[in-house]
Structure 1
């Protein structure tokens, strides 16, 4: 039988079912304790339906600037993944397009944040 790994995710909810805590662990990691997180995005590809299935959660104490950084880093990682998956094809340059978009997203966020600070 092929080796398997299990990823465990625990989400603590308040009375309105809003996430208060997110913890995770995987059987193939050296850490035996649960790892804390403020947000998570998990995507699965359903090949039969040709659609992505997602679980997006964040805790109520996640700050907007943290969410922007989380998105920036997630997009950069997606670019890396896309490049690895398409490494010997003409689509590899699209990984750079994803990175460019992520950088522009971050630049606009910072610019908007500065404007908001000046208005206070």
Structure 2
């Protein structure tokens, strides 16, 4: 089970709505729905039942919340990217010559 899928499922369980869970996790609603569907396919049980005003956890979903929270807590933290040295552009340093236009950085075209 992917840690991201588990985090998305926990957000759905806490918020009770796919859109609010997506906003909470800063991802799209489709990716949250796909994460929940992937977990349901892997476990072979329905974890979430949709209603008119959101979603509710099924009995299997309620029992899986504790296991999902434990797995997320045990998962190793990903390394933090601190960035690196900025690299200079390797451009030509001036605009390219366009046929029929005056040369760049000249007041007028030579004859």
For Structure 1 versus Structure 2, the TM-score category normalised by the shorter chain is under 0.3
Structure with a larger share of its residues in helix: 2
The higher radius of gyration belongs to: 2
Structure showing greater relative contact order (alpha-carbon pairs closer than 8 Å, 6 or more residues apart):
2
More strand per residue: 1
TM superposition score normalised by structure 2: 0.23
